[in-house]
C-alpha cells in the first residue's frame, strides 16, 4: 500500500450535488457557499484542475496525467449549481461538469427523492404504512413523530423505490403522497429547485461541461434493455440539440454497486459516451475502466477535512 506523496498518476473526480444552505432535501447533498469557495480556491492552488473531457484523454494516455489531477462534477442539475456554484467557478475560470437529468429540465419538476424528502419532513401524518409486494404479513409501519424518525422513513422508502421500474415507482409515489396528505402532481418547490435550459445554455457557453444523467433518474438495472437505451440516448440527443454541442460524458443515477453493471457499461458506450462515472469511492489510475470511474463524495466540511478526504481517497477505495 502506498501512502501520502506516492508519485503515481491518478485522477480524482469530486462529486457534488447542491451548493448553498440546506432547505428541504437531503442535507448530505449540500455544501455551503463558503465551504465550496474555499474548496475551489484550495483545489486551484494545490491541484491541477482539468476539464473532464481533457482528463479522460489524459487518463487514456496515462503518462501525462500527473498525480494531482482533479475534476469537479455536479449531479442531477440543481438550480443552485447556476445560482451559487457557477459565479464562483466563472470568476476563477475553474472547469467543472454538470450531469443533468433531462426530465426536470423539460418539466421544471423536482426529482422524486427531493419531493419524497419534503413529504416525509412536512407531513402532518404521524406514521406511514408501507405496502411491500410479496409479503404476506401486515405492511410495516414507520413512525413519523420525531425528525430522526422522519429522516429514517425517507431513507427506508427511498431504498424501497430506487430499484423499481419507473411506472411502479410512480404508482407507489402516488399512494405515499395520498397517505401523507399531499398531491403527487404538485411540485412542493414551485418548479424552482432544478436548472432551466436557459441556465444550462449560459453555463455551457461559458465553458462548463454538460454530461448525461438519463431522463428520469432511474436505477438503470431495474429497467428493460429498451427503456435503458431510451434513457441513455434520448437524454443525450436532447441535450446535444439544445446546447448544440456533443455530450460525451455520463453519470449513472445513484451510482452505487447495484446501479450499473458490465452490460450497462457496454450500453453507455454504444450510446456514444466516452466515459461514465459511478458514485463508488476512490481515485482513477491509468488503465482504469473508463465506464466505471470512481469519485470522491464531497460533504459540507471545513477545508482540513476536505483536504484529508482527497488524500485518503487514494488509498481507501470501496
Ligand atoms: Zn443523480
Identify the weakest region by mean pLDDT among 133-137, 152-156, 180-184, 270-274. 133-137
Q: What is the pLDDT of residue 25?
A: 74
Cα–Cα distance for residue pair 285/273, rounded to 1 Å: 20
Contact partners, residue 168, CB within 8 Å, separation at least 6: none
pLDDT in tens, 97-129: 999 999 999 999 999 999 999 999 999 999 998
pLDDT at residue 313 tops 50: yes
* Letter string b/e over residues 242-256, b meaning 16 or more CB atoms within 10 A of that residue's CB: bbeeebbbbbbbbbe
**CB–CB of 180/125 below 8 Å?**
yes
Q: Separation of 19 CA from ligand 1 center, angstroms? A: 15
pLDDT at residue 215 tops 70: yes
Q: What is the mean pLDDT of residues 175-191?
A: 92
Nearest 10 degrees: Cα torsion 62, 68, 69, 71:
150
Q: Separation of 138 CA from ligand 1 center, angstroms? A: 33
Q: What is the mean pLDDT of residues 62-87?
A: 93
Calculate Rg over the CA atoms of the chain: 20
Cα–Cα distance for residue pair 310/72, rounded to 1 Å: 12
Q: Separation of 7 CA from ligand 1 center, angstroms? A: 33
**CB–CB of 249/212 below 8 Å?**
yes
Q: Separation of 213 CA from ligand 1 center, angstroms? A: 7
Higher pLDDT, residue 276 or 65? 276
**CB–CB of 79/193 below 8 Å?**
yes
Q: What is the pLDDT of residue 115?
A: 93
5 pLDDT band, cuts 50/70/90, is very low
**CB–CB of 95/51 below 8 Å?**
yes
- What are 94's three cell numbers? 475553474
Q: Separation of 1 CA from ligand 1 center, angstroms? A: 32
pTM: 0.93
Q: Separation of 59 CA from ligand 1 center, angstroms? A: 24
Higher pLDDT, residue 163 or 177? 177
Q: Separation of 207 CA from ligand 1 center, angstroms? A: 21
Identify the weakest region by mean pLDDT among 225-239, 252-266, 301-315. 301-315
The domains located in the chain, with CATH, are 11-109+193-313 (3.20.20.370), 112-180 (no CATH)
Cα–Cα distance for residue pair 39/44, rounded to 1 Å: 9
Q: What is the pLDDT of residue 6?
A: 44
Mean per-residue pLDDT of the chain: 92
pLDDT at residue 1 tops 60: no
Measuring CA to CA, how many Å separate 87 from each of 36, 63, 93, 118? 11, 33, 10, 28
Q: Identify which of 136, 185, 127 has the alpha carbon closest to the alpha carbon of residue 156.
A: 127
Cα–Cα distance for residue pair 315/137, rounded to 1 Å: 45
Q: What is the mean pLDDT of residues 233-239?
A: 98
61 pLDDT band, cuts 50/70/90, is confident
Q: What is the pLDDT of residue 2?
A: 47
Amino acid at each position: 500500500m502506498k501512502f501520502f506523496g506516492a508519485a503515481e498518476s491518478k485522477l480524482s473526480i469530486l462529486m457534488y450535488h447542491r451548493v448553498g444552505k440546506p432547505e428541504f432535501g437531503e442535507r448530505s447533498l449540500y455544501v455551503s457557499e463558503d465551504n465550496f469557495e474555499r474548496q475551489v480556491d484550495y483545489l486551484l492552488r494545490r491541484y491541477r484542475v482539468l476539464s473532464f473531457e481533457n482528463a479522460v484523454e489524459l487518463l487514456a494516455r496515462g503518462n501525462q496525467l500527473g498525480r494531482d489531477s482533479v475534476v469537479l462534477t455536479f449531479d442531477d442539475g440543481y438550480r443552485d449549481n447556476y445560482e451559487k456554484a457557477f459565479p464562483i467557478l466563472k470568476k476563477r475560470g475553474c472547469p467543472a461538469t454538470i450531469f443533468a437529468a433531462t426530465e426536470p429540465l423539460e418539466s421544471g419538476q423536482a426529482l422524486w427523492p427531493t419531493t419524497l424528502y419534503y413529504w416525509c419532513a412536512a407531513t402532518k401524518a404521524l406514521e406511514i404504512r408501507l405496502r411491500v409486494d410479496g409479503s404476506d404479513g401486515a405492511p410495516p409501519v414507520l413512525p413519523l413523530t420525531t425528525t430522526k424518525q422522519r429522516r429514517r422513513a425517507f431513507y427506508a422508502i427511498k431504498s424501497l423505490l430506487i430499484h423499481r421500474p419507473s411506472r411502479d415507482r410512480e404508482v407507489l409515489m402516488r399512494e405515499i403522497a395520498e397517505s401523507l396528505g399531499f398531491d403527487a402532481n404538485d411540485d412542493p418547490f414551485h418548479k424552482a429547485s432544478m436548472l432551466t435550459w436557459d441556465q444550462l445554455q449560459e453555463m455551457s457557453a461559458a465553458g462548463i461541461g454538460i454530461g448525461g444523467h438519463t431522463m428520469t433518474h432511474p436505477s438503470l438495472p431495474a429497467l428493460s434493455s429498451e427503456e435503458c437505451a431510451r434513457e441513455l440516448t434520448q437524454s443525450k440527443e436532447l441535450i446535444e440539440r439544445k446546447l448544440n454541442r456533443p455530450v460525451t460524458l455520463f453519470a449513472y443515477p445513484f451510482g452505487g454497486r447495484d446501479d450499473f453493471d458490465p452490460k450497462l457499461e457496454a450500453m453507455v458506450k454504444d450510446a456514444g459516451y466516452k466515459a461514465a462515472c459511478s458514485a463508488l469511492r476512490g481515485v482513477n489510475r491509468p488503465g482504469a475502466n473508463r465506464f466505471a470511474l470512481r469519485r470522491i463524495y464531497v460533504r459540507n466540511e471545513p477545508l482540513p477535512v476536505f483536504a484529508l478526504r482527497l488524500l485518503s481517497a487514494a488509498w481507501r477505495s470501496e
